[in-house]
Structure 1
Amino acid sequence: MTSPPENSPEVNASELMEIGPLAKTDAPFPVVGIVASAGGLEAFTELIRHLPTDTGVAFVLIQHLSPDHESLLSEILGKVTEMPVHQVQDQMVVEPSQIYVIPPNTQMTLVDGIFHLAPRQKIQGRYVPGDVFFDSLAVDRGNKAIAVVLSGMDGDGAQGIKAIKEAGGVTFAQCEATARFDSMPNTAVATGSVDFVLPPHAIATELTKLSRSLVLQRSELIQSQIVQELPQPGNALETILALLRTTTGIDFTLYKPTTIARRIQRRLLLYKLESLEEYAQYLKQHPAEVQALYEEILIHVIPT
């Protein structure tokens, strides 16, 4: 057995079996949370301009708004897309292929597919409506939670984007070259939890691909198959675990099957693969991905 990579966290069997809360896998459709501040409206408009109207995904914009002025976001966005655009009301039910906008002077959460509004309040001295929404989105949608951080001048969204990744979701940030104010997306990227760093139109392209992904549409079935499949000589799961064991020195057969399944399913989604067999082959051809999978599996072991 080889030694774990230098600077890797020390783990033991009891930790591997106990750590890793179960995330939802049965959400009916994905929800994309998008946080933006200064310069963000321009970026979001560019993003939704390139989205088809039938993605089957809900889009929720958490824009930093003046608490003293009525928002015109719904009217503005309605001019660039045929998707229905709503300013959220308390207890509103989220629906697919629609856009939702946070009202001024509020913070918003999503619980069991229902929006909940409350007066905004500071957390550790700052207003962070993006983090608040992302945290709730991670719980409500699990692996069907998607987070996007666009232009802005503070770090809102950075903490919440980590929660989305831990739940098995996919994360995006606007690239520095196109963000009018890059502090917000750059802070998100610095967490190490952002999967794609792209301009808005390219984010729209990737979101469209995700919405069509069979892995995402059949995530419950795929994760169930991974959990139920026993690692046996020659099968894909044994190949994946053997590559991890050879590279890291850790036997991940001791890890919770549900968490292993969630992590592998997320990697399938990122690389647009559709089966364990395809992913096992990908790992053989890309040794760096073995290390990436290892680090992602241990996401709950490493203290924040």
Structure 2
Amino acid sequence: MPQLPLVVVGASAGGIPVLKTLLSRLPRDFPAAVLIVLHVARDFPSLLPDILDGVGPLPVRHPLDGESMQPGQVYVAPPDHHLIVEDDHVALTKGPKENHARPSINALFRSAAYLYGPSVIGVVLSGMLDDGVSGLYAIKRRGGQAVVQSPQDAEFNAMPLNALQEVEVDYVVAAQDMAPLLTALVREMPGGQNRMDERENQRLEIEVGIARGENALQLGVTELGAPSLLTCPECHGALVQFKEAGILRFRCHTGHGYSGSSLLSEITLELENKAYETLRVLEESLILMKRLGELCEQRGDLVGAEAFYNKIRKVGERTATIQALAQGTERLSGQQVEMRASDD
């Protein structure tokens, strides 16, 4: 088992101020490597290393693929690449997205849990939805420790709340208290036991392989669960469904992964997109029928022209309905639905 302690950190919306606070308070002799995934846009260079480097004594950078991990170094996932752990080095991969994200917090956390087990501390910070929850669960089950930002301290508390709901979290702290806690933990590293059963270990191995970019179907992804009646929003492949603790999860045979909440979010977004596609088709038919009706008029076919104009009126009524559907569609998540039910 590798001896270098690892601190793996996941954040999304509202995460940058917390990361700055955390890194500003870590000591120069911090004895662990720190790996960070923050959800960033895929099409633009990330300025996160520039933002974080210099706020504290530890150097921050995007690692090179295959770069060795060193204590007291901070490695930040670059855009559109998973950052994963491989023995004593990191790997940057283009494995399938998870929860529509690459880099994925879960991918980093699982890879660290798989190889480093009790030498890992997983940290979930501010963010929306629930990326990181499954990975934090894997860290705990493999003997590592789980730290979560206090929901009251987080700008966006969905990720901390979901982690607290599904994982036996060891510590819940505010941003300003996180660095002293992590410093104490990595110096002690009590080391827990691997509590995963054979099926959990098999699932973890498959999912780490998927994040590496290995062929999901050949790895046995379809054996992770039962076939569902749902399709992947990313590639439209069939999804298998399974439970991990209290988390409902899905994988397609090409490897894309979703929690139930993130899948609901993607499906409701797709509903809006499809409504606008339908509206486009209807409006294009209106444009074409108008031109055909005018052509009938020009050649003296008034009966044909009136037929087109009548059809235009009927289709026009349908476009109003579809437009209202498109504009009224709401992107949902599991947490949003539950919160509104409690408010009612």
TM-score interval, normalised by the smaller of the two chains? 0.5 to 0.7
Task: Normalising by structure 2, report the TM-score.
Answer: 0.54
* Mapped contact 2:32–2:72 kept (Cα < 8 A): yes
The RMSD of aligned alpha carbons is: 2.2
CA distance in 1, matches of 2:35, 2:88: 12
* Mapped contact 2:77–2:103 kept (Cα < 8 A): no
* Mapped contact 1:27–1:140 kept (Cα < 8 A): yes
Give 4+ residue runs of structure 1 displaced > 6 Å after superposition: none
**Corresponding position: 1:199 with 2:174:** yes
Q: What are the within-5 Å matches in structure 2 for residues 202-221 of structure 1?
A: 202-213=177-188, 216=190
Residue 72 of structure 1: which of 47, 55, 74 is its match? 47
In structure 1, what is the equivalent of residue 114 of structure 2? 139
Residue 79 of structure 1 deviates from its aligned partner by 2.1
Q: What are the within-5 Å matches in structure 2 for residues 122-161 of structure 1?
A: 122-123=97-98, 129-161=104-136
Aligned amino acid, residue 78 of structure 2:
P
Aligned amino acid, residue 77 of structure 1:
L
Task: Normalising by structure 1, report the TM-score.
Answer: 0.61
In structure 2, what is the equivalent of residue 167 of structure 1? 142
**Corresponding position: 1:45 with 2:20:** yes
Distance 1:197 1:38, change over 3 A: same
* Mapped contact 1:105–1:120 kept (Cα < 8 A): no
**Corresponding position: 1:178 with 2:161:** no
* Mapped contact 2:166–2:246 kept (Cα < 8 A): no
CA distance in 1, matches of 2:148, 2:69: 23
* Mapped contact 2:24–2:56 kept (Cα < 8 A): yes
In structure 2, what is the equivalent of residue 98 of structure 1? 73
In structure 1, what is the equivalent of residue 38 of structure 2? 63
Is the deviation greater in 114-123 or in 153-162? 114-123
Aligned amino acid, residue 151 of structure 1:
S
Number of residue equivalences: 199
Q: Which runs of 5+ in 1 are unaligned?
A: 1-25, 224-257, 261-301
Aligned amino acid, residue 142 of structure 2:
A
Q: Which runs of 5+ in 2 are unaligned?
A: 196-244, 248-344
**Corresponding position: 1:34 with 2:9:** yes
Taking only the aligned residue pairs, the percentage that are identical comes to: 33
Residue 193 of structure 1 deviates from its aligned partner by 2.4
Aligned amino acid, residue 184 of structure 1:
M
Distance 1:70 1:31, change over 3 A: same
Distance 1:116 1:127, change over 3 A: closer
Residue 123 of structure 1 aligns to a residue whose secondary structure is: coil
